[in-house]
Amino acid sequence: MTAPTDLVTRARDLVRIHDAVLSGGAPQERPRPVVARSWNRVLGLGIDPDGRNGRDPLAPFEVDERRRTSRLALVIDEIRELLLSAADASNYLVVVADADGIVLWRSGSPRVKRQADNLGFAEGAVWTEGAVGTNAIGTALAESAPVQLFSAEHFENAQVPWYCTASPIHDPIDGTLLGIVDVSGPALTLHPAIEALVTASVRLAEARLWRHHEEGLELLRRTAEPLLSGANGPLLVVDDHGWVAAHQGVAVRDRVEAPRADRALAVPGLGLCLPERLRGGWLIRPSAEGHVLHATLDLRTSPAMLEVTGGDAPWRVALTPRHAEIVAALGAAGRVGVTAAALSHRLYGDGEHQVTVRAEVSRMRRALGALLATNPYRLGAGVELKVVE
């Protein structure tokens, strides 16, 4: 749709579809799948299309705190610069929300800002589907995908005069959803290039976040230089997410398992390691030869508890019944370990659940780290297990 008459005609068609669906009738044309899914979710939440749902914004100090702690603060200037430099930027707003759907930043046309104020589309407002119905920010969060909505594809009647185009932005370091970049404006001013602009701004921001991450690794590398120059033996220096800033005496990939205090991890080429905290990261080197971690699985409690000693401090983790059963099975298997098929037979009585077994062990390794090893599945090197029935 490029001509204003196309937009007007499409807006009228969408209003008819919207009214028919919400009145329980049969529309001549079905809503787009993404819109239909959102309307179903919103109807299930009891959102009133004629109401003013959930508009109470956070207090300014709460918004400031969220801005301060958000990694999006590192790239907000790049997002604004790209999106507000477009020729038709006088007709829309650039909005950035966090992963909770809370509007943290809003820039753009003063005229459109005033219209948005009347809608409650302001900094601090919660703009999720559960708060305000189908909208690009909330629906992009629900769908985990870019979304463009036009006119009566919005659920609330108050939002029908608007278009909005939104895309999720993720942290390239670990894939965490950071928030949503959105461009919104009066429906009949929608330009075909808006969607591409929003996509470009997200890619630019994620690239900038990655450069910031690389700068952090370089700083950690310089910080660790005195330690590396005086150390003997293989070691790694990594950040909190396991990205390698420096290494010595061991060939590694770009990343290892994210370290956790007093929790062992297994690193290819190093074996069992107990991470040591550094300023801004971690030092990872092999545990002393013969170092043993003592694990006690207590099946008398609900949930079952696994307590590990042998590091700088003991630690405990609660296990589901299934995960406790897997740990006990690996302990009984000894150093030879078991295959996924054998575990499937033990847990489910047949060998048809190997995919489920692999998924369960993968989830367990995120919690237990180097206590578990794979190929075959077994307890990690240097781990001794006692099961208390």
CATH number at residue 302: 1.10.10
**168 and 85 fall within a common domain:** yes
Note the pLDDT tens digit of each residue in 264-293: 777 766 777 878 899 889 998 887 655 677
Locate 190 and state its tokens. Answer: 């929608």
CATH value at residue 98: 3.30.450.40
Please state, in angstroms and rounded to a whole number, the distance separating the CA atoms of residues 150 and 48. 19
- Give the count of beta carbons closer than 10 Å to the beta carbon of residue 152: 25
Q: What is each CA distance from 156 to 8, 76, 179, 364, in whole angstroms?
A: 19, 29, 22, 43
Q: Is residue 59 part of a domain?
A: yes
For residue 106, being part of any structural domain is answered with: yes
pLDDT at 310: 67
In this structure, the answer to whether residues 297 and 202 fall within a common structural domain is no
Verify that 343 and 249 share a domain, yes or no: no
What is the rounded distance in angstroms from the CA atom of residue 265 to the CA atom of residue 267?
A: 6
Looking at the structure of the chain, the number of domains it has is 3
Residue 220 lies in a domain: no
Q: Which of 20-29, 284-293, 367-376 has the highest mean pLDDT?
A: 20-29
On whether residue 226 sits in a domain, the answer given is no
Question: Where among 245, 267, 284 does a domain terminate?
Answer: 284
As a whole number, the mean pLDDT across the chain is 88
- Say whether the peptide bond before residue 60 is cis (omega within 30 degrees of 0): no
In angstroms, rounded to a whole number, what is the distance separating the alpha carbons of residues 248 and 237? 9
| Residue 108: inside a domain | yes
Question: Are residues 316 and 239 both part of a single domain?
Answer: no
Q: What is the DSSP string of 95-121?
A: EEEETT-BEEEEEE-HHHHHHHHHHT-
Amino acid identity, position 137: I
Residues 9 and 118 in one domain: yes
Residues present in the chain in total: 389
Residues 254 and 319 both lie in one domain = no
CA-CA distance, 2 to 6, in Å (whole number)? 7
Q: Which residue has the tokens 């293989």?
A: 234
**76 and 186 fall within a common domain:** yes
Per-residue confidence (pLDDT) for residue 382, from 0 to 100:
75
Assess if residue 225 is contained within a domain.
Answer: no
**What is the distance between the alpha carbons of residues 224 and 150, in angstroms, rounded to a whole number?**
53
Mean pLDDT value of segment 61-87: 94
Query: Within a 10 A sphere around the Cβ of 138, how many other Cβ atoms?
Result: 27
Residue 312 confidence class, pLDDT cut points 50, 70, 90? low
Start-to-end C-alpha separation, the chain? 69
Domain closes at, from 284, 319, 345: 284
Confidence at residue 235, expressed as pLDDT on a 0 to 100 scale: 87
Domain range for 254 is: 231-284
Q: Is the pLDDT of residue 3 over 60?
A: no
**What pLDDT is attached to residue 291?**
64
Question: Which of 211, 246, 265 delimits the end of a domain?
Answer: 211
Residues 136 and 118 in one domain: yes
- Res 137 pLDDT > 90: yes
pTM of the model: 0.74
- The answer on 31 and 141 residing in a single domain is yes
65 plus 91 within the same structural domain: yes
- Does residue 174 sit in the same domain as residue 277? no
Residue 289, pLDDT score: 57
**Same domain for 348 and 275:** no
